[in-house]
Amino acid sequence: MKYDYLVIGAGVSGISSALLLARFGFRVALLEQASGPAPLIDGFVRNGVYFEAGFHYAGGLESGGVLDRSLSLLGVAEDLHRVAFDELAYDTIIQPESGLNFSFPQGYDALSLALQKRFPEQRNPITKYLGRVQEVTQNLPYYHPQAAFSPLSLAALHEQSLEQVFAELAISGELRTLLQVHCLLYGTKPSEVPFAIHAGVVDGYYRSASTFKGGGRALVKALVAACERSGVDLFCRHQVSEVELTAAGAFAGLACANGERLQAVNCVSTIHPKAMLALVPDSVFRPVYRRRLNALAETASAEIVFLRCERQRGSALGGEASDSYDFAGRNFFFLPSPGTDLFAPDLPLCERLLYLNFASSGGFTGAHECGITAILPAASEVAAGEAQSRFAYAEGKVQIGEQVRERISGLLPELGAGLKVECVATKKTLQRINLSPTGSLYGVKHMVGQFNPAAKTRLENFFLAGQATTAPGLLGAITSALMAVGEIVGHDKVEALRREVVCDG
Amino acid sequence: MTDVEIISLVNDSLIEEFELDESAMVSEAEIFADLGLDSLDIVDMVVVLEGLLEIKIRDDEGLREIRTLGDIHRFVITKKRETETAAD
Ligand SMILES: Cc1cc2nc3c(=O)[nH]c(=O)nc-3n(C[C@H](O)[C@H](O)[C@H](O)COP(=O)(O)OP(=O)(O)OC[C@H]3O[C@@H](n4cnc5c(N)ncnc54)[C@H](O)[C@@H]3O)c2cc1C
């Protein structure tokens, strides 16, 4: 069987690319190294409790929102049910030492009011900042995947860092702390991240914060069902080991580690750009391009602890709202002490930035026990230390889990004695699941001054998609597919499809 | 750095980074037709030239006017001199 397109990697971007290509009438096969599709966003069940892996919440999922429309375009919106996060407090930021305790409410107006109430002297900068976030986002590929962005035009959008915008708008102190906390969601510091990338991420959350009923797992199911309906063939346990070329040097097919070979006219690679380079004969790309891709900076890594807890009603933690609520549908960011770099990866586990997600019951199904994910950013470089024995490694994981559990118990005593560690993921685990050489959480960074690879490559009929090419997160991954398929079939055709399906005028 | 030094630095680096043929490096050589570069190479060319000469050209309109190797030389020399003057 010869395909029109082979897609390397069945993550969100790979599946999205495949679905769109099938929409345009191509025969497509998806090759995924893991045992199931989209392993990054598929959660897992341990001892009867569902845990999220690489998907905790999304912005822009409100009806007609940018992510909602993208999912419609993929033909999966109807199979998914949105579950809104806490309306008044989806993200709560707490700095125990300074007493900072602020909750992000959903919607720009509510957020603007809440910030102005907390920082009356910075009313002007707040309005300007929120206005700038909305304005910049409107010019991004999310809203205009048809605009045929070139690497140079994207670089022009990415000139200014988040930190520079803070300085320009005289945003300082605790306000700045609050507005930069979401950098954790893509693992790049305020001094490095282009303001436009940050704006694209937070704009969605400022509008609405939600997940799907059934969590990341429900999204994977919906995507796989759409593949079946569209006739996309999905091959799991197919780790691509080589890109094969014709005698004339054109793309011919893919060889897999399991010995299978598939032929096709074209290919879309959605894996880590450095991993992609390793599959292609050196002669294909110029040394300068290989060097650029190999030099792409990696996002932060993390220690991730998965915990289970009997669901209980909590007090309002001293926040402004005074009702007691269930923690489900909330995130907490516990910040290191004032004056410390927010994202400092080398602080001890009891002092480091701690992100807690309570959405993991898979859309708040009312289960008796709730899965909690705790993420603590770590440096992404591989530690040079001597190889650990398996025993020492396992022992280390137990210690990490216990330290983090103790810290959470102290911070949220409401959780009570029922809080237990289920398992721990370290940099090594991430290296394995992400195939990222440095164990980074989100693959490569989007960074001021850096050119991430474009969809088109020098190898004709070989295209790139994935969060590394366009923007981070679920939305970045889907947008990257829209841009790659636009390069393939013509951006005007993708735009026509968008208008037809999404009816957004 | 003199103009001649800049030109030779640029040529050496383009030869290495883009695997170009040394004998083709004459100033009237067209970058697409004669040197075999294509539009995808422009980004990498920008990265190389910016790094090499510590200049910023990525958002410069003049980039689009470049047709020949000589155009590249003139373009970066002008940019380099502008940067030097600005730094004084
Ligand atoms: C801990 C964590 C939390 C996150 N939380 C959120 C969140 O709350 N909201 C949000 O929007 N985003 C979140 N993200 C980010 C989001 O998960 C990613 O941006 C998105 O899933 C990336 O999709 P992708 O298709 O670009 O990459 P991937 O999902 O990495 O897809 C690449 C696929 O290729 C496969 N592969 C690799 N090499 C090969 C090979 N040689 N052959 C075959 N297959 C191969 C991989 O197994 C993988 O499935 C989170 C990420 C992490 C790590």
Q: Do B42 and A152 touch (CB under 8 A)?
A: yes
* Per-residue model confidence (pLDDT) at position A309: 84
Residues 6+ apart with CB under 8 A from A245: A251, A252, A281, A284, A459
Nearest to A214 by CA among A228, A225, A200, A230: A225
State the pLDDT confidence band at A162, using cuts at 50, 70 and 90: very high
Pocket around ligand 1: residues whose beta carbon is below 6 Å from it? A 8-14, 31-34, 39-41, 54-58, 239-240, 270-271, 275, 434-435, 441-442, 466-467, 472-474, 476-477
Long-range contacts of A395-401 (CB under 8 A, 24+ apart): A396/A426, A397/A423, A397/A424, A397/A426, A398/A424, A400/A303, A400/A305, A400/A349, A400/A424, A400/A426, A401/A305
State which ligand 1 atom lies nearest to the alpha carbon of A16: 25
Q: Could you give the CA distance from residue A366 to residue A259 in angstroms, rounded to a whole number?
A: 46
* Per-residue model confidence (pLDDT) at position A155: 83
* Per-residue model confidence (pLDDT) at position A312: 54
- The full 3-state SS of A311-328, as one line of letters, equals CCEECCCCCCCCCCEECC
Closest-CA residue of B relative to A451 is B43
State which ligand 1 atom lies nearest to the alpha carbon of A31: 43
Residues 41-60 of B with CB under 8 A from A: 41-44, 46-48, 58-59
Q: Could you give the CA distance from residue A98 to residue A120 in angstroms, rounded to a whole number?
A: 18
Q: Could you give the CA distance from residue A87 to residue A191 in angstroms, rounded to a whole number?
A: 31
Select from B38, B47, B59 the Cβ nearest to the Cβ of A451: B47
State the pLDDT confidence band at A325, using cuts at 50, 70 and 90: very low
Q: Do B59 and A156 touch (CB under 8 A)?
A: yes
**Average confidence (pLDDT) over A148-167:** 88
Place of tokens 């309306």: A87
Q: Which chain A residues are within 8 Å of B41, Cβ to Cβ? A: 286, 288, 458
- How far is the centre of ligand 1, averaged over its atoms, from the C-alpha of A501 (Å)? 26
> Chain B contact for A387, CB < 8 A?
no
**Following CA atoms B8, B12, B17, B19 in sequence, which dihedral angle do they give, to the nearest 10 degrees?**
120
Coil, helix or strand for A375? strand
Domains and CATH numbers, chain A: 2-42+216-296+446-504 (3.50.50.60)
Q: What is the pLDDT of residues A471-494, one digit of tens each?
A: 999 999 999 999 999 999 999 999
* Per-residue model confidence (pLDDT) at position A314: 45
Q: What is the pLDDT of residues B51-71, one digit of tens each?
A: 999 999 988 888 889 999 999
Q: What is the pLDDT of residues A192-227, one digit of tens each?
A: 999 999 999 999 999 999 999 999 999 999 999 999
Q: How far is CA A176 from CA A164, A169, A190, A342, in A?
A: 12, 10, 10, 11
Q: Where does residue A334 rank: exposed (0-12), middle (13-18), buried (19+ CB within 10 A)?
A: buried
Select from B17, B38, B40 the Cβ nearest to the Cβ of A287: B17
Mutate to test the pocket of ligand 1, among A15, A31, A40 (most ligand atoms within 8 A of CB): A40
Q: Which chain A residues are within 8 Å of B18, Cβ to Cβ? A: 286-288
State which ligand 1 atom lies nearest to the alpha carbon of A15: 25
Q: Could you give the CA distance from residue A301 to residue A443 in angstroms, rounded to a whole number?
A: 9
CA angle A219/A222/A225 to nearest 5° reads 150
Which DSSP category does A466 fall into?
A: S
pLDDT of A317 > 80? The answer is no
Q: What is the CATH number of the domain that holds B66?
A: 1.10.1200.10
Q: Which chain B residues are within 8 Å of A457, Cβ to Cβ? A: 40
pLDDT of A58 > 80? The answer is yes
Q: What is the pLDDT of residues A6-44, one digit of tens each?
A: 999 999 999 999 999 999 999 999 999 999 999 999 988
* Per-residue model confidence (pLDDT) at position A313: 52
Q: What is the pLDDT of residues B14-48, one digit of tens each?
A: 999 999 999 999 999 999 999 999 988 999 999 99
**Following CA atoms A357, A361, A364, A368 in sequence, which dihedral angle do they give, to the nearest 10 degrees?**
-120
Total of domains in chain B = 1
Q: Do B18 and A287 touch (CB under 8 A)?
A: yes
Q: What is the pLDDT of residues A447-459, one digit of tens each?
A: 999 999 999 999 9
For B62, the domain range is: 3-87
State the pLDDT confidence band at A322, using cuts at 50, 70 and 90: very low
Give the global pTM: 0.94
Percentage of residues in chain A having pLDDT higher than 70: 91
What angle separates helix A108-118 from helix A123-138, to the nearest 10 degrees? 150
CA distance A455 to chain B (A): 10
* Per-residue model confidence (pLDDT) at position A326: 63
- How far is the centre of ligand 1, averaged over its atoms, from the C-alpha of A327 (Å)? 27
State the pLDDT confidence band at A346, using cuts at 50, 70 and 90: confident
**Average confidence (pLDDT) over A88-105:** 96
State the pLDDT confidence band at A327, using cuts at 50, 70 and 90: confident
Select from B38, B47, B59 the Cβ nearest to the Cβ of A292: B47
Q: Count H helices, E strands: chain A?
A: 15, 21
Length of chain A: 505
State the pLDDT confidence band at A154, using cuts at 50, 70 and 90: confident
* Per-residue model confidence (pLDDT) at position A339: 87
Q: What is the pLDDT of residues A385-419, one digit of tens each?
A: 556 777 888 888 999 999 999 999 999 988 878 88
Interface test with A, best of B17, B31, B42, B44 (most A CBs within 10 A): B44
Neighbours of B9 (CB within 10 A): 15
Percentage of residues in chain A having pLDDT higher than 90: 72
Q: Which chain A residues are within 8 Å of B19, Cβ to Cβ? A: 286-287
State which ligand 1 atom lies nearest to the alpha carbon of A465: 26
- How far is the centre of ligand 1, averaged over its atoms, from the C-alpha of A145 (Å)? 20
* Per-residue model confidence (pLDDT) at position A153: 82
> Chain B contact for A118, CB < 8 A?
no
Residues in a beta bridge with A302 = A377
